Amino acid sequence: MSTVLNPCAPALTRRKFRLQDFAEHKQKGEPIVMVTAYDSTSARLAELAGIEVILVGDSVAMVCLGHDTTLPVTLEQMLHHARAVARGARTPFLIGDLPFLSYHGTPAEAVHNAGLFLKEAAMDAVKLEGGRERLPAVRAIIEAGIPVMGHLGLTPQKIRQLGGFKPQARTAAAAQFLTEDALALQDAGVFSLVLESVPQEVALHVSQELEIPTIGIGAGPHCDGQVLVWHDLLGLDDTFVPPFAKTYRSVGKMIVEGLADYRREVKDGLFPAAPQTRSMEPQELDEFQQKVRAC
């Protein structure tokens, strides 16, 4: 199966993407490629494709669990998905997304919850949303030895304050505010920063100001890496695709076609056919028929 699925076999022998590779990629100008994934099969496929970083995003709430926002997903649900992803992929760097309210209390609570992603779900790092207001949690988590990725711009956990999934940092003042947040997060020790749904000029400026790499989603081409949500990238849900996402394959359409073929073949008596059917050994069949007749 691997050779069929994997036209670029070297991905299988690739060494693990490490924390220091983030900085090295930025220095070399080599873009970092990140996707979200939420289960073991998808993680394995991402690895086969040579994806360097997998984010077990809290977007799971929307794309897998049917919620309208990311707010309802729990820490236990995030850990459940993170464990599955870790079982599926060996070489990508794995990041667990801290869900809403799991790092908003005391720094000690934030450290405990972040630690669970490394201790119980084999993640390499955690991601959290927010700027200077989150610095006590960010500093405490990093002091505990847990690498932290930041996330600025459109931060979906603040959806109720933002009033919708709207582009951010569109005014000069907001762009300056975001830049100051980014610098504060870098000073606190985050190893990388997601910039979501911000103008490309802002992403360019922040990427030039920072020594750590930026990872963009809806932030234009000037970030040091890009991330896309699994379902958007693969066309798994045509009810909503963010305008900034690119759908590389219509996998959802292929799935519906496959399921419809299956349905039709069952209805028409074509499935299962000979290759999918097992028969008893003749001697066992004879014995069985005798027993049936004797009843």
Among residues 225, 211, 262, 162, the alpha carbon closest in space to that of 23 is found at: 211
Please pick, from the candidates 57, 92, 199, 225, the single residue that binds ligand KIV as defined by CB under 6 A. 57
Could you give the angle at which helices 172-188 and 135-143 cross, rounded to 10 degrees? Answer: 20
Q: Which of the stretches 38-46, 55-63, 115-123, 175-183 binds ligand KIV when contact is defined by CB under 6 A?
A: 55-63
Q: Which stretch binds ligand KIV (CB under 6 A): 24-32, 51-59, 108-116, 178-186?
A: 51-59
* Nearest C-alpha neighbor of 31 from the set 22, 40, 39, 43: 22
* Span from 52-60, 99-107, 173-181, 269-277 in contact with ligand KIV (CB under 6 A): 52-60
CA separation for the pair 146, 283 (Å, rounded): 64
Tell me the CA distances in angstroms from 24 to 70, 103, 211, one per residue in order. Answer: 32, 29, 11
Residues contacting 189, CB < 8 A, separation 6+: 138, 139, 142, 148
Query: In angstroms, rounded to a whole number, what is the distance separating the alpha carbons of residues 68 and 80?
Result: 20
Instruction: For residue 217, state whether it binds ligand KIV (rule: CB under 6 A).
Output: yes
Q: Among residues 199 and 216, whose Cβ is nearest to ligand KIV? A: 216
147 binds ligand KIV (CB under 6 A): no
Q: How far is the CB of 253 from ligand KIV (least distance, A)?
A: 23
Q: How far is the CB of 68 from ligand KIV (least distance, A)?
A: 14
Is 59 among the residues that bind ligand KIV (CB under 6 A)?
yes
- Which segment (21-29, 50-58, 105-113, 171-179) binds ligand KIV by CB under 6 A? 50-58
Q: By CB under 6 A, is residue 229 in contact with ligand KIV?
A: yes
* Alpha-carbon distances of 68 from 58, 61, 165, rounded to whole Å: 12, 8, 11
Q: Which of residues 232-291 bind ligand KIV (CB under 6 A)?
A: none
Q: Position 162: which residue type?
A: L
Distance between CA atoms of residues 85 and 42, nearest Å: 8
In the list 35, 36, 197, 235, the residue contacting ligand KIV (rule: CB under 6 A) is 36
Asked if 58 touches ligand KIV (CB under 6 A), the answer is yes
Q: Whose Cβ is closer to ligand KIV: residue 101's or residue 108's?
A: 101
Q: Which of 196, 201, 265, 281 is catalytic?
A: 196
> Which tokens hold the place of 135?
């610095």
Determine the 3-state secondary structure of 2 from DSSP.
helix
Contact pick of 110, 152, 227, 233 for ligand KIV (by CB under 6 A): 227
Binding residues for ligand KIV, per CB under 6 A? 36, 55, 57-59, 97, 151, 194, 196, 217, 227, 229
The residues annotated with a catalytic role in the active site are 196
